[in-house]
Amino acid sequence: MSTATQADQAAPGSVPARGLTAPRGLADRSFQWLALGAGLLVLVILVLIAFSTTQQAWPWFKTEGLGIFGTVWDPAANKFGATPFIYGTFVTGVIALVVAVPVSVAIALLLTQVVPYRIARPIVYVVDLLAVVPSVVWGLWGILVFAPWIQHIYAHIGSAVDGIPVLGALFGPPTSGASFFTAGIILAFMITPIVTSLSREVIATVPSIDREGAYALGATRWEMIRGVVQPHSQGGVVGAVLLGLGRAVGETIAAALVIGSSPTITSHLFSTGYSMPAVIANQFGESTGVFKAGLIGLGVLLFAFTIIINVVARAIVDRSARRMRGE
Amino acid sequence: MQRQRIRRTAVGLPVVAMALVLAACSSSTTTGGGSSSGSGSSLSGTLNGSGSTFQLTFQQSAIQAFKAIQPNMTVNYGGGGSGKGRSDLAAGVVNFAGSDSPIPSDEVANFKGKTVLYFPIMLGPITMSYNLSGVSSLKLDPATIAGIFQGKIKTWNDPAIKALNSGVNLPSTPISLAVRSDSSGTTANFSLFLTLAAASTWKLGTSSTINWPSSAHAGNGNGGVAQIIKSTPGSIGYVDYADAKAAGLTFASVKNKSGNFIAPSPSSASAAGSTVTLKPDLTFAAAWSSNPQAYPITYQSWDLVYQKQSSANTTKMLKAYISYLIGDGQKLLTTLGYAPLPANIDSKAKAQLSKIGS
């Protein structure tokens, strides 16, 4: 732990090395330009993507107006309302967070506060392995293995809670193996590694002096986590969670395979739904005219949502990092 | 250590982005022919096509077989769907596009007034595949199919189904629908059939994507729908004949315009094509044919090429490949589970070949 704090102090200490008076060599300068160019290129590409997609989606914005937030998506009737997809994206994202966040934070605490480093390392390795599974593999596993298995559980829960006020509306029939909930769970698997590793990094920055101080005052490990780790890393963990959400709302192919592909707005979490990236992936191939513009427009909205989520997440992480450094 | 890893990825990202840009640039220049050989018989160069996934299996087999005829020519066919094929052709990134429907009116402007020729390539039946233990033969008519796929007919022993299948012991199993999750030419032609044949009952319109009842199970591609039917007792779905055969599904006979119940097969699909009214641009709809032997849910696919080509070599290559597809290549279709073009369409398509020019 102390090495981490030393590294933090060493980083600003290395700055004066650049201040040596000798003129910088050609290699140095060209590297600087190359790096700058590469950085700018990313920005330029992003702006161009935003511009050209908005342009291509324009017929949709123009013909539908505020109707882009309509509740019916029916290409055969020329109705292109995006709300079912925005709703589905939101619902699956929330389910993914509800499932993934407690697990991820618990793993992060386990790795940093409970087990020693030599045991933590293989666990980190295994959790990170989840992140290397390609999303199409998650999707195929979801639709071929997970959905057929869990649909019986859904059906049982569905018939058990049918008629009970709130539970019936959330978990009652109709139930289907491919559903909001299945998609949420698959997304939860997919975002667990990123939320875990970011939370772990944030939690690892809690100064050991503070932790040992808490122990010295007679705190149990749980009290130490509540009293020292939590206030210190709360902001960072929230940021990690939002970054996970950003990943979840943008996930395409896994969601497309397991969400059930039905543009319906319903409170029934075990029934079929749709999300924004999934509908783009599924329907783009045979789309024409306003239909195609609408799908591209969904991409623009999704782009905007993920940018907002990521910017907010970064801001929260940065602010908490600054606060931790005492600035 | 963590810090170092982050720094390394930060350098890596722009490089990847640059590579992507380069790849995008190079891929757009690969179209068009190579060196023009001049000699009439042996051609060399590359033809690129994309579009209809209905054509994909046939195109793959035809490309293999075509190598024996023109060993120095490379033909590529990427699927992606009819819509993608047409927009690729409009954007000039492919030499030909596969499409299961004529160019819709709202896309015509994309082709900037250039003449596009339609070459009919193949026909195929769309099966009403089902999974119902103990029922090995089933008859359906368009109105009943429309009722089933709108969720109005909910059980297998519904009076409407019973009336068509006297003597068959139909169970009270609920019907579950298997439909496409992706937009598809199969869906477009299946809904076109229902619009033509069951106009008074069918309310969901004609489109590559239909707003099915939300209880429907959606699968990706014909294979995905076949998989759902296979694993869900009581299900029924619309599946391309080749995929239904490959998955070993059972399918229904469907009542045609003349009142006969016809089972889907390559020959009953070809029969559907033999009486169509062919427009001068060779577009037609094979669904709901008036031929008494025709399977009513038959669809078709075209290859679209520009009449005016930019180079003489591309013209020669296109003529060679398309004349193979509508000539000897047709023999491959039946074994693949598709239907060859009937003579009336095939001869018109061959006559149109001479129109391609540079």
* Contact (CB<8Å) B14/A42: yes
Cα separation, B132 vs B138, in Å, equals: 10
The whole-number pLDDT of residue A64 equals 87
For the cut 70, the answer to whether the pLDDT of residue B25 exceeds it is no
The whole-number pLDDT of residue B1 equals 42
Query: CB of A77 within 8 Å of any CB in chain B?
Result: yes
Q: For chain B, give the mean pLDDT.
A: 87
- What is the pLDDT averaged over residues A186-201? 93
Query: CB of A8 within 8 Å of any CB in chain B?
Result: no
Give the chain B residue nearest A265 (alpha carbons): B214
pTM score of the predicted model: 0.79
Confidence of residue B4 (pLDDT cuts 50, 70, 90): very low
Query: CB of B234 within 8 Å of any CB in chain A?
Result: no
Residue A265 lies inside a defined structural domain of this protein? yes
Minimum distance, in Å, between the CA of residue A158 and any CA atom of chain B: 15
Amino acid occupying residue B239: V
Nearest to A199 by CA among A313, A295, A85: A313
The whole-number pLDDT of residue A241 equals 92
* Contact (CB<8Å) A287/B18: no
Residue A13 lies inside a defined structural domain of this protein? no
* Contact (CB<8Å) B214/A272: yes
Question: Per mean pLDDT, which range of A69-83, B23-37, B74-88, B312-326 is the poorest?
Answer: B23-37
In this structure, chain B runs to a length of 358
Residue A4 lies inside a defined structural domain of this protein? no
Tokens 């640059």, residue? B18
β-partners of residue B255 are B261
Minimum distance, in Å, between the CA of residue A289 and any CA atom of chain B: 6
Give the chain A residue nearest B211 (alpha carbons): A74
The whole-number pLDDT of residue A10 equals 46
Query: CB of A285 within 8 Å of any CB in chain B?
Result: yes
Give the chain B residue nearest A42 (alpha carbons): B14
Residue A212 lies inside a defined structural domain of this protein? yes
What residues have CB less than 8 Å from A310, skipping those under 6 apart?
A: A242, A243, A246
The token pair that represents A249 in the structure block: 């709302």
Amino acid occupying residue B19: A
Considering only CB atoms, B209 lies closest to which of A201, A271, A283, namely A283
Query: CB of B231 within 8 Å of any CB in chain A?
Result: yes
pLDDT in tens, B295-340: 999 999 999 999 999 899 999 999 999 999 999 999 999 999 999 9
Please, what is the angle between helix A289-324 and helix A83-109, to 10°?
A: 30
The sign of the dihedral angle between the CA atoms of B219, B223, B229, B232 is: negative
What residues have CB less than 8 Å from A293, skipping those under 6 apart?
A: A56, A57, A58, A59, A60, A61
Nearest to A91 by CA among A294, A274, A254, A237: A274
Considering only CB atoms, A282 lies closest to which of B183, B212, B216, namely B183
Contact A187, A88 (CB under 8 A): no
Residue A228 lies inside a defined structural domain of this protein? yes
pLDDT in tens, A286-303: 888 889 899 999 999 999
ipTM score: 0.72
The sign of the dihedral angle between the CA atoms of A57, A62, A68, A71 is: negative
Question: Per mean pLDDT, which range of A191-205, B2-16, B134-148 is the poorest?
Answer: B2-16
Rg for chain A (alpha carbons), in Å?
24
Query: Chain A residues with CB inside 8 Å of B185's CB?
Result: 286
3-state SS assignment for residue B48:
strand
Report the number of distinct structural domains present in chain A: 1
* Contact (CB<8Å) B81/A286: yes
Tell me the residue range of the domain where A273 lies: 84-290+303-324
The whole-number pLDDT of residue A184 equals 96
pLDDT in tens, B92-107: 999 999 999 999 888 8
Query: Chain B residues with CB inside 8 Å of A178's CB?
Result: 217-218
Question: Per mean pLDDT, which range of A7-21, A82-96, A247-261, B186-200 is the poorest?
Answer: A7-21
Contact B85, A285 (CB under 8 A): no
Confidence of residue B9 (pLDDT cuts 50, 70, 90): very low
Question: Per mean pLDDT, which range of A10-19, A130-139, A317-326, B280-289 is the poorest?
Answer: A10-19
Query: CB of A266 within 8 Å of any CB in chain B?
Result: yes
The token pair that represents B178 in the structure block: 């298997």
Cα separation, A116 vs A100, in Å, equals: 24
For the cut 50, the answer to whether the pLDDT of residue A158 exceeds it is yes
Residue A33 lies inside a defined structural domain of this protein? no
The token pair that represents B323 in the structure block: 């004349």
* Contact (CB<8Å) B185/A286: yes
The whole-number pLDDT of residue B13 equals 42
Confidence of residue A327 (pLDDT cuts 50, 70, 90): low
Q: For chain A, give the mean pLDDT.
A: 88
A202-235: b (≥16 Cβ within 10 Å) or e: bbbbbeeeebeebeeeebeeeebbebbbeebbeb
For the cut 70, the answer to whether the pLDDT of residue B37 exceeds it is no
- What is the pLDDT averaged over residues A150-166? 90
Considering only CB atoms, B206 lies closest to which of A38, A76, A174, namely A76
For the cut 60, the answer to whether the pLDDT of residue B34 exceeds it is no
What residues have CB less than 8 Å from B18, skipping those under 6 apart?
A: A38, A41
For the cut 80, the answer to whether the pLDDT of residue B124 exceeds it is yes
Rg for chain B (alpha carbons), in Å?
23
3-state SS assignment for residue B73:
strand
Residues 245..264 of A with a Cβ closer than 8 Å to B: which?
256-257, 260-264
Residue A256 lies inside a defined structural domain of this protein? yes
Confidence of residue B288 (pLDDT cuts 50, 70, 90): very high
Question: Per mean pLDDT, which range of A8-12, A203-207, A269-273 is the poorest?
Answer: A8-12
H helical segments located in chain A:
2-13, 26-64, 83-109, 117-132, 135-141, 147-161, 165-171, 180-204, 208-216, 221-224, 230-250, 253-258, 276-283, 289-324
Q: What is the CATH number of the domain that holds A143?
A: 1.10.3720.10
Contact B305, B95 (CB under 8 A): yes
Residue A168 lies inside a defined structural domain of this protein? yes
Confidence of residue B358 (pLDDT cuts 50, 70, 90): confident
